[in-house]
Structure formats: C-alpha cells, structure tokens
Structure 1
Amino acid sequence: MTIRLPGAQGALRVYEPRAEPLAVTAGTPFTSRTVFSAAHVVADPFADTTPDGPAAVDWEATLAFRRHLWSHGLGVAEAMDTAQRGMGLDWAGAAELIRRSAAEARAVGGRIACGAGTDQLAAGTPAEVRAAYEEQLAVVEESGAQAILMASRALCAAASGPDDYLEVYGHLLRQAAEPVVLHWLGPMFDPALEGYWGTSDLDAATEVFLEVIAAHPDKVDGVKVSLLDAGREVALRRRLPDGVRCYTGDDFHYPELIAGDERGFSHALLGVFDPLGPLAAQAVRVLDTGDVTGFRALLDPTVALSRHLFRAPTRFYKTGVVLLAWLAGHQAHFTMVGGLQSARSLPHLARAYELADGLGLFPDPKLAEDRMKTLLSLHGVDQ
C-alpha cells in the first residue's frame, strides 16, 4: 500500500508506509534520569463552542493518554504549554485538569508535576501577579502534585526590571511547601515572554535566574530550560547549586543533553516526549545500563521529527503533537481546543506523519495510514 502526500511546494509524492511498528516494551522505573513528558489535552469534538470560548475537554480520553505515559514509566508534566495553556486552555480548565490528573496519578502510582502560572490575570501590578501565582500554587499543592512555576506573561509585562522578578519569585519560593521546578520558557515558545528576567540580554537574564536559585536552593528541585540553545543550557547546568537538577526543555538537542558529558547531564521535561513516549522510555532504560551509544542510537533518529514539529513558529508545535496522537489511536479525532488543528499546513502535517511512521511510532500503521488518507481526502487529495 502507498499514500500520496503533498510536499512543501504542493506537488504530490508517493510514500510507502512501514508495515510494522517499532517493538517497544515496558520495563523497570528509570534509575539514571528523571523524565517528564508534557502532555496534550484531548478536545471534546461534540462541544458547541468557539475558538475564543472556554475549552471543552474530553476528560476520559485526556486521562487515558496520561495513563499511557505512566505505563511506560514517564512522569507527566501537566497543564504546561503542551496542554495549550494560554492557547485555548484557560485557568479554569487548567485547574480542573490539574485536579483530575493529580487524582489519576495517585490512583495508578504515576509521577506528576503541574504548572502554576498567572493566566487568570490579563495584566496587573507585580503584587497582583504574585497573588495570581499564589492562587495557582495553592491549587497545585492541594492536589498533591509537585509544582512547576511557569513563566508569566503578566509578570513580563508588569516588571520594571530584574528586582521585580527577584521579589516575586523569592516570595513564592519562601512559601512553597515542597521544592518546585522553575520554568524558563523562551520567546520562541511564547513571544509575550521576550525579555523575561528583566532583560533581553540572555547572559544578564541567566545571572538573574541563577540569583533566584542561589537565594533558595532548598526550594528548587530543578530548572526547566526551553531556549533551544544547547550550549547555553550546558553552561547553566554547570553553575547550578548541588542538588538542583537541570531538566532539558530543548526539543532540538535533547539526546546529547540527556546523555551528558564528563561534567554532568540534563534530566528531561519535554513536549516531544508526548508522541515519543514509549520510544523515549526505552532509550532511557538503555541509558540506565550505562550504554550511551545504544541510547543515542534509539533517540538521535527522532530529532528530525522533533525539529519538524517545533519549527517556527514554534508555539504551534501542539498541532503536530495532537495529529500524531490521533494517528497513533490515542484519540478518536483530530480536533483541538481553540480550533488549533488549523494552525499547521497540510504539507507540514503530511511530513510529520511520514517522519513518525518512519520511526515506527504508530502501534497500528494501517490505522495511521487510513486516518492520514481521510485527512488528505478532506483537503482534496485523492488517493
């Protein structure tokens, strides 16, 4: 069987899907790295809603996908940008997601960390931003999940300089019940975060970030760095206080950063591990044995897919992630909250299918092929 796929210039080409998926098996918990997959949400396709209305979530399908990730030993990073925070999922929906997912984690013994931000606040003073953070931090802690302090659009807009960041984060860390993960999300993921930490100079911003951590090392479990700059991440992780982890959020260079070097390594908190979950878990188990070459042999070939999904404008990577979840059979439709299924072109989606199929990511390749042909047919591509 073959499938006709549109290329970037619009011409159709013939692709022959693979017949069998990659063989992956569950195994023991990871021992050498802490690994989280940021997880997407599944929309309710029958909800009568609008792109700017409240998100309508299919809760059972959403939780089933988290059970899938936990079954492979991955932790779930919940209510992050992969779950469309600020791009279709508002704070009310995120709070419900946190409560439901944390309860599910307790029921199945899965690890979970949840994002606390300020997206219930459109704009405000630094004091109002701090109060918004406190409200969300309380929801996360009451759910029993670990907290991830997400970057705040409102703080970026309100802060007059680095001192406002030091004050807000210092206040939050002092009152946090347990050590948190600090998330530095670059503007390629959210343009509203340009100049985070009070400056657009990344070297100066790094110093502010490190000052926040140095003042409260006992309250920082780790940092999640999403700047797509491997060299900068390595330099940062070498300066972290003892006991503070670096969780890579670099969806372009994750194999080398997780593998590490003679001076250390990164743990992982990655959106691309949503579609790569089983394969990524198998690679980390190989790394647990000390086999860096085997780890890289499994994970390096996935980078082409990840770079494609996260190509500029990077913030729309969620569309490809949900497409692959549908093709893999994790949900019954390709519909997203906020109508974001329309955010990528048909050639982009076709290439995502081809790369994922080549990796053997689809448990049922024939199902994936049939669903991709349906999508192509809806866009006028006859097979």
Structure 2
Amino acid sequence: MSAVTTVVTGLGVAAPNGLGTEAYWAATRAGTSGIGRIARWDPARYPSRLAGEIEGFAAQEHLPGRLLPQTDRMTQLALAGADWAFADAGVVPAELPDYAAGVITASSAGGFEFGQKELKALWSQGSRYVSAYQSFAWFYAVNSGQISIRNGLRGPSGVVVSDQAGGLDAVAQARRQIRKGTRLVMSGAIDASICPWGWVAQMAGNRMSTSDDPERAYLPFDAAAAGHVPGEGGALLVLEDLDSARERGARRIYGEIAGYGSTFDPRPGSGRPPGLRKAIELALADAEMAPGEIDVVFADAAALPELDRIEAEAITAVFGARGVPVTAPKTMTGRLNSGAAPLDLAAAFLAIRDGVIPPSIGVDPVEDYRLDLVTERPRPAPVRAALVVARGHGGFNSALVVRGTGQ
C-alpha cells in the first residue's frame, strides 16, 4: 500500500437542487428536488420531458466575457465549480509551483449544446458561420483543458470517458498521480447535455423515464421503477497529499480517498456474473477495510428493475441483507452522467462532516431487494466511511471508498 494518503480539501458543487456546496447540501438534507419539466426548450414532442436543470447560473457573473463565446454550458459550470473548489480549499493556483498541480476530469458527452448551436448554423447559414471554437468546445477533454489554462495547471492531466462511472475513475486516476508525487490535482466531473441533440442521444439508450410526474418519475429500487431522469451538474474536488495539505495549513480536510475498484461486465449471454460485486470488493481491499467498517453506501440507482436487482444483490452479497444503510440522493437531481458520482462523493464527505445520511426521496423500496434504504428524511448517524458506487452504460463498474481523517 502506498504511504501517500490522498485527501480532499476543497469541493465545488453545481447541482439542480443547489448551486454551491452548502446550498446543495441544505437542499439534499431537506429532501428538496431539482427535477421538473425542461424549461430551457420545449420538450413537448419528446417522450421524456423531465430533467434536473440548474437554475440561477449566469455564466457572465462568474467568468470573463472572452470565455463565453468559446465554451459550452458544461464547461462554464465546470470553470465556476473549479473556482469554488479552489476557494474552498484556500488554494490560489497562481501561487503553486510550476508543474505541481494537474487536472483530471471525466466526461460523458462533451459540449453537446455548443455543438448543436454550430450544427444549426451550418445547416441554416453555411460553413462560414460555424465558430472556430467548435473544434474544441465539444471535445470530451475540454473541461480539463479549460480548467488547466484558466488556472495554470501544467502538471499531469487528462480526461476519463466511462459514462457514469467516469467520475470515480477520474478521481482514482488523480489519486494515482498524487501517489507519484504530484502535489495537487483538481478532479471529478461536471456534465451538461440537456438540449434537443443531447436529449435524443440519451434517449437512444432506452433507459429514461417517460413519466411527467416529477415526484414519481425516478424511483430506484421501487416496484414502479421505469427509468431515470437525466440531469446536469456534478462536483469538482481538490485532491492533495495529506502531508502537503498539512504543510500549507489547509483550512479543512474533508476526508481520504481510501480505496478504489473497477471491473467490466461480461458480454450478455455469457453466463458469467455481473462485475459490480467484484468492484466493491476490490475497493474495500484497496482501502484495507472490512464491510462492517462502511457506514453508508451511495448507490448507482439505475431505476430499471434488472439493474436495480443486480446492484441490490451486489450490496447484500458484500454487506448482508439490510447490513448497511443505502442512499440515492440523486433522486433529487437526476442522473448527471459523469457528474453523478463526484456529486455523491461530495455528499459522502459532507455526511462524514455532519454525521447524517441524506435521503432517497419518493422511493418505496422493494422488500425482496433486502436493502436498508434511507428514504424521505435524513438519518442522523456517525459516518466514518462511505462507499460510492457507479456504473456506466456498456458494462463499466466502479466503486470508491472514502473515510474521515479525524480532522
């Protein structure tokens, strides 16, 4: 095991039910949902019409004007989130030594809304009216690139693309770089593709709810589960070596990135079991922790009966029937693509800080799943360690263990 302890010292959150870390956490603890009918364009002709949209974000209030015409909404949210995370950590990027810091994010779709706008210009006006910024504004790596440029982060950097599992995979990659000697890495993900072009791309997966009732549309582990509601947002985290964080006098340490595991599901029809249970076991082994030391599981929460069953079986196989509290606060935000798991990580660290498990709202869990699902109201409880689970379309499974450091 590496002697380097990787800790989180800053959080930057953008979520449908709260812009900023404390606003998100207050809403989540109160069971306040950010899911509703799409407001930025008319979804009437589409079978799915609900989303978790972020309200109240005006990019011009957070970013210089020169950046606005060259960035997608996803990137604008990510740049603001990175600023908030650095401020929370008490880090001034310009004061960091050259090559001491990097940025590793995840992306699921890239800058879809920017691409849609430029395609519209191409079709209606011709190629001369397509922005030169289209060459990179749509790209999966654009958030890493723009955060790096804005903050002068020239250390090891990159992007991970593994759908909803990507946010955990990016944080794990950041931990690897810190263990190799990088002083600080900005990591996590913020995603946004709630535009008609992005919408039909998501619909192609046949996993979206078609309900028009915001309170009953996204119901993981419920008998009425019939797909998820997409959303936008996520979280960015400042990761540092513990000794380095102490040396600079970090104002707070939320906790440690303690263990990580990832697997890939076998091909359908192979007869081999899904890989989620193994990913959880690998994460626990990496953290050198027993199942009984985990105080809460933040579930992937697909809200499709077969996928819910697989996740419930994986959790009960490792922890026992109703052996650990399970929660899915994404019932208040929707599934945020690559931003979902980093937002769960932020919630896990806040749960450790405050000693409370956030609820899964609107869900009446199926008894046969044998889960101790926290519903409707937050549950006060000592939270020393948490497991966050994420799965990506096509077979990606990731699990990450976080724990407090007593600071």
Q: TM-score, normalised by structure 2?
A: 0.29
Higher strand proportion (structure 1 or 2): 2
Higher helix proportion (structure 1 or 2): 1
Q: TM-score, normalised by structure 1?
A: 0.31
